[in-house]
Amino acid sequence: MNSEENYMTFESFVFDSYAFFEILKGNENYNKYKNAEIVTTKLNLFEVYLGVLREHNEESAEKILNQYYDFAIDFDRKVITEAAKFKKKVNKRDLSMTDCISYILACQLGIKFLTGDKEFEGMEDVEFVK
């Protein structure tokens, strides 16, 4: 490998819970995102913690929470209002509150929302990966 191949520009993404679960499952399509600059919310981490707790145990859930907690950022009033408007606008899609907040946060930050959730396929500002 030459030095050019070693150099990698790290992109930032707002990680949906879906993205975390795919990385944890070892989905090779998500390998390139393991070194991305992660942005997420505490709401997403709640979903990940709960999922790991259900599938494994508290010790595993704590380990994952500790691994990703520092990447969680807060969101402001504008994200709340815009996410609610977005959810109302796309009400035929089955999007959770957390998904709407995370997507709008990504838009506000000017980075892509990383997910494999079929409801986001083809949407602007989404990095859709199965």
Return the CATH number at 26: 3.40.50.1010
Which residues have C-beta within 8 Å of that of residue 3, sequence separation ≥ 6? none
pLDDT at 93: 82
Are 109 and 39 a contacting pair, CB within 8 Å?
A: yes
pLDDT at 10: 74
Q: How many folded domains does the chain comprise?
A: 1
Secondary structure of the chain: what % helix, strand, coil (to 5)? 60, 10, 30
Tell whether 20 is covered by a domain.
Answer: yes
Identify the CA nearest to 115 among candidates 16, 30, 36. Answer: 16
Tell whether 110 is covered by a domain.
Answer: yes
Helices vs strands, H then E, count in the chain: 6, 4
Whole-number Å distance between alpha carbons of 94 and 117: 10
pTM: 0.89
Q: What is the pLDDT along the chain (130 residues), one digit of tens a residue?
A: 333 333 345 799 999 999 999 999 999 999 999 889 999 999 999 999 999 999 999 999 999 999 999 999 999 999 999 999 999 999 888 899 999 999 999 999 999 999 999 999 999 999 999 9
Strands 112-115 and 37-39: unpaired
Tell whether 51 is covered by a domain.
Answer: yes
Tell whether 7 is covered by a domain.
Answer: no
Tell whether 5 is covered by a domain.
Answer: no
Whole-number Å distance between alpha carbons of 117 and 21: 11
Identify the CA nearest to 44 among candidates 24, 85, 73, 23. Answer: 73
Q: Which domain holds residue 65?
A: 13-128
Tell whether 96 is covered by a domain.
Answer: yes
Tell whether 1 is covered by a domain.
Answer: no
Tell whether 25 is covered by a domain.
Answer: yes
